[in-house]
Amino acid sequence: MNKVSLKTRHFLSVNSVTPAEWQSLLDYAIALKAGGWNTLLKNKILAIMFEKPSLRTRVSFEVGMRQLGGQAIYLSPAEVGLGQRESVADVSRVLSRFINGIACRTFAQQNLTELAKWGSVPVINALSDAEHPCQALADFLTILEHKGKLQGLTLAYIGDGNNVANSLALACGMTGMNFTIASPAGYTLNEKYVKLARKYARASGAKITLVEDPRAAAAKADILYTDTWTSMGQEAEAKIRRQAFAGYQINEKLLSLAKKDAIIMHCLPAHHGEEVAKGILDSKNSVVFDQAENRLHAQKAVLASLLA
């Protein structure tokens, strides 16, 4: 089992890797999932530094390091105070003297850029306001397992053009998967990511489409994907967002417009009765718990490639 050789030292964005490297990471994740525990990262230590609470991200990184023969140290917001108690530059330089890599879950993408700039160890984006590349890698691993391919499929994203949507759009463009996002006015995909995704799509043959009508997005889709209407840090906007996204729910009616074998995806945590109808994530079309498990295997591929 050979690790993937990446040109980058860091995994800050889907755009950190080339389309070929993205596919190689998926292939490596499949091999690591089948292979079980190993010692690829023996004597390696990962610092897991979070500004936001987490279930899947923290557990999958900690378990991933253990399954690769390494160790992980969790650093809470109060312990680090990134950019407040201590500058990002100083945090990065200090940690680089102790550990072999940093996985950071932060409110600002700029913090990741600074960690990578000032430190001497690989930095992994465990979620930022701009992107969630580890989630996208796990998602594409899940799609590959259930559909057997990526090229030519259509992923319909229903809801907020947020960090997850940004990463999915880039990954779709890279792999030749069509990406359609249905969002209300004012909540659509960031133009920077639209342009970059379409640049990749021109080479892969994919289509990147923005619409307002969720029914138009769902029609004949292979994958229906959504996320919470209100993410961490947006709690003050919750009432306004519930009104704006009221018609953007994945339910049986929307599912009926997609292909019969369409799968339903959600990066979790889910607000049942809001972005997804109650019970829809328990339906035969739902793959959300396969998706959650694959965070472990996808991240192991990233960890082994950068730290081994």
Supply the mean pLDDT for the chain: 96
Omega before 53 cis (within 30°)? no
User: What average pLDDT does this structure show over 138-147?
Assistant: 98
Tell me the pLDDT tens digit for each residue of 245-287: 999 999 999 999 999 999 999 999 999 999 999 999 999 999 9
Residue 235 reports pLDDT greater than 80? no
* Residue spans of beta strands (DSSP E) within 23-148: 45-50, 71-75, 101-105, 123-125
Mean pLDDT of 52-74: 96
Q: CA distances (Å), 176 to each of 74, 153, 168, 195, 199, in order?
A: 37, 8, 12, 15, 12
Beta strand segments in 61-207, E: 71-75, 101-105, 123-125, 154-158, 178-182
What is the model's pLDDT at position 260? 98
How many Å apart are CA 115 and CA 96, to the nearest integer? 10
DSSP state of 273: T
Could you list the active site residues? 105, 132, 135, 227, 267, 295
Q: Which CATH class is domain 135-291?
A: alpha beta
Q: What residue ranges of the chain are covered by domains with CATH 3.40.50.1370?
A: 14-131+295-307, 135-291
Interatomic CA distance for residues 36 and 71, integer angstroms: 16
Q: Looking at the predicted structure, is the pLDDT value of residue 108 above 70?
A: yes
Q: Would you state the pLDDT for residue 78? A: 83
Question: Per residue in 131-140, pLDDT tens?
Answer: 999 999 999 9
What is the CATH number that goes with domain 14-131+295-307?
3.40.50.1370
Q: Residue 123 in contact with residue 249, Cβ under 8 Å?
A: no
Q: What string of DSSP letters covers 204-261?
A: HT--EEEES-HHHHHTT-SEEEE--SS-TT-GGGHHHHHHHTTT--B-HHHHTTS-TT
pLDDT of residue 237: 83
Nearest to 65 by CA among 40, 85, 82: 40
Summarize pLDDT for 5-54 with one digit per residue, the tens: 899 999 999 999 999 999 999 999 999 999 999 999 999 999 999 998 88
State if pTM tops 0.75: yes
**pLDDT tens, position by position, 156-181:** 999 999 999 999 999 999 999 999 99
